[in-house]
Chains A and B, each alone.
Chain A
């Protein structure tokens, strides 16, 4: 439910505690393993999850996520698995918001109405679609909002002031700020000037700001957390999973997420 997301960000702002939204690649390295990873992240205190639906041509993703999504597809991952995972997480008792991260074609082929329906039925909270332009929000945002689901807009370092305003006006629980001009992927250093850019941006926005792309460890998360309402970690987590034997994925993901949550508490 998107109101839960809204409330979560409001509370976070009052408490000055940035939120942590880890990304889990569905079906990587298997459905069960990704479910374990998701549970571990939530247990470790993740504020919400981004559940990534694998797509054959992920143009916004760097090598790590490309390889992971390709692996998932080759091992039979289906789009409908996102709903299955939401259901599994809900029946295991997890209450945190769950967002589906998907490229537009998958949603388009599933059908927007069916997508919103299935998301709402299973207990999902919204969707993040990197190749859905702001111009198309008027077409799809109403049908998502009618079911109390969020559609999260992106803004990038190259977004004009006008587009930032446009994103801010969508009534979303948060905006996804792409920290670098580039694709997803863990980076050694945060882009120079990021914090300054975030502070300037945040002053103009009424919508909370969550930062993703290129954040790889608890220390970086804490740094970004000083100037944002939340951080997303994707590639670094997927990379960690790729190096971990399946039986230990839950433990390793839980530990990593726990460290990030702790680092963000100290911000």
Chain B
């Protein structure tokens, strides 16, 4: 958090650079009207970051409201079944509201308050970030408006209702593909219009600088805790980290505090939908190329002309056609590897974790669990693998029911 805690190597080349770039990725490709707002945010955040009072306040809410630290659970049964690496689950599913999203929302709402902003807007896909934003806005009594694609409003009716219960106004976005990317475009349009009094609370490591940095900083508590916890439990660092990646906030939150631990392997898992060889997937790193979407330069799923592609994933939280710029940089520098898991594979992992450990993971996180199940048997028995369980799966039970339905039978695993 505070600069004194960063290690000296990180000080030598902190990323992003002052202009918001991770190598070539990131930046501020936004209409001129918003440049003032980004400068204002940069300045406010630079001050907050150095201010011990701000950090104390953030830590207070993480502990007392969110319920941190979250446990690092040893998945003994799954480990035994896989006959390989020891599997640990970073339990972000146990956060208030059921996913890691709230970490960032708490940080940003405190920032918005310092900036004197009276109105918060946010975009949401599956609704998890929308719910987390509505939650912190209720807590601090701030007006909240959430943009959500019409298609997602239909698919995630329960989350829409949760947001309304929390006092938020939900705008169904009917432009474009009517999903997350269009919700984000619409949020940006609202921000351009109401820029002076409105704070745009972005939920992922996407968007223009300084958002990818801010979201990372508010999410890195995941990795900081995991690092401390594994050192305490196992007396050493893990061999590998696995997390699902779309915009990439939960993954960067886990990865970031381990970046200087060169021996710790990092694997991000994207949504392969029906398979990356089909047209129905959201595997930006596998199939995209660098381009500009929503204010930053990063890998983007697009056609030859540069039109943004439509995506598919069983998990509504993984269907953004872009990825955070820091992930693009980690990929190019080979510090992290990016793979993908299909809908089918995520469903397999969803069931396996339920049966073996009594935990229903979010379908997003199930992509990471699948990859861990694939890697663990190929790793030595005493090696350690940490999986980020970014959210809980209750919200996905309906989707899983639709897919598995009658095929599912009870009984021993």
Q: How far is the CB of A238 from chain B (nearest CB, A)?
A: 15
CB-defined interface of A111-148 with B at 8 Å, one 1/0 digit per residue?
A: 00000000000000000001111111000000000000
Q: Which residue of A lies closest to B28 (CB)?
A: A133
- In the complex, which residues 45-95 of chain A have their Cβ closer than 8 Å to any Cβ of chain B? 55-63, 66, 70, 73, 78-79
Q: How far is the CB of B182 from chain A (nearest CB, A)?
A: 8
Q: Which residue of B lies closest to A58 (CB)?
A: B185
Q: Is A246 an interface residue (CB 8 A)?
A: no
- Tell me the interface secondary structure of chain B in the complex: mixed
Are B188 and A59 in contact, CB atoms less than 8 angstroms apart?
Answer: yes
Contact partner, B306, options A110, A130, A154, Cβ 8 Å: A110
Q: In the assembly, what is the distance between CA of A132 and CA of B305, in Å?
A: 18
Are A57 and B32 in contact, CB atoms less than 8 angstroms apart?
Answer: no
Contact partner, B294, options A59, A79, A106, A155, Cβ 8 Å: A59
Are B295 and A131 in contact, CB atoms less than 8 angstroms apart?
Answer: yes
Residues of A within 8 A of B308 (CB): 56-57, 105
Query: Chain A interface: which size bin?
Result: 35 or more
Q: Which residue of A lies closest to B187 (CB)?
A: A59
Q: Is A245 an interface residue (CB 8 A)?
A: no
Q: Is A159 an interface residue (CB 8 A)?
A: yes
Q: In the assembly, what is the distance between CA of A245 and CA of B305, in Å?
A: 29
Q: How far is the CB of B178 from chain A (nearest CB, A)?
A: 11
Of the candidate stretches A18-26, A175-183, A216-224, A247-255, the one touching chain B is A175-183
Q: Is A15 an interface residue (CB 8 A)?
A: no
Are A154 and B31 in contact, CB atoms less than 8 angstroms apart?
Answer: yes
Are A106 and B295 in contact, CB atoms less than 8 angstroms apart?
Answer: no
Are B28 and A158 in contact, CB atoms less than 8 angstroms apart?
Answer: no
Q: Is B181 an interface residue (CB 8 A)?
A: yes
Known: A57-B185, A109-B291. A133 touches B192 (CB 8 A): no
Q: How far is the CB of A103 from chain B (nearest CB, A)?
A: 8
Are A156 and B33 in contact, CB atoms less than 8 angstroms apart?
Answer: yes
Are B195 and A158 in contact, CB atoms less than 8 angstroms apart?
Answer: yes
Q: Which residue of A lies closest to B38 (CB)?
A: A133
Are A163 and B32 in contact, CB atoms less than 8 angstroms apart?
Answer: yes
Q: In the assembly, what is the distance between CA of A66 and CA of B176, in Å?
A: 8
Are B307 and A158 in contact, CB atoms less than 8 angstroms apart?
Answer: no
Q: In the assembly, what is the distance between CA of A130 and CA of B295, in Å?
A: 11
Contact partner, A73, options B175, B193, B295, B307, Cβ 8 Å: B307
- In the complex, which residues 154-195 of chain A have their Cβ closer than 8 Å to any Cβ of chain B? 154-160, 163, 178, 180-183
Most buried by A among B176, B182, B308: B176
Are B175 and A70 in contact, CB atoms less than 8 angstroms apart?
Answer: yes
Q: How far is the CB of A168 from chain B (nearest CB, A)?
A: 13
Contact partner, A160, options B36, B294, B300, B305, Cβ 8 Å: B36
Pick 27 A–B contacts, CB within 8 A, sort by A.
A55-B307, A56-B176, A57-B181, A57-B182, A57-B185, A57-B294, A59-B185, A60-B31, A60-B189, A66-B176, A79-B306, A104-B29, A105-B300, A106-B306, A106-B307, A110-B306, A130-B32, A131-B292, A133-B27, A134-B32, A136-B27, A154-B32, A156-B31, A158-B35, A158-B36, A159-B35, A160-B39
A contact set with B: CB distance below 8 Å = 55-63, 66, 70, 73, 78-79, 103-106, 108-110, 130-136, 153-160, 163, 178, 180-183
B contact set with A: CB distance below 8 Å = 19, 27-37, 39, 175-176, 181-182, 185, 188-189, 192-196, 291-295, 300, 302, 304-308
Name the 10 nearest CB pairs between A and B, nearest first.
Answer: A109-B306, A156-B33, A158-B36, A154-B32, A182-B193, A105-B306, A105-B292, A56-B307, A156-B32, A79-B305
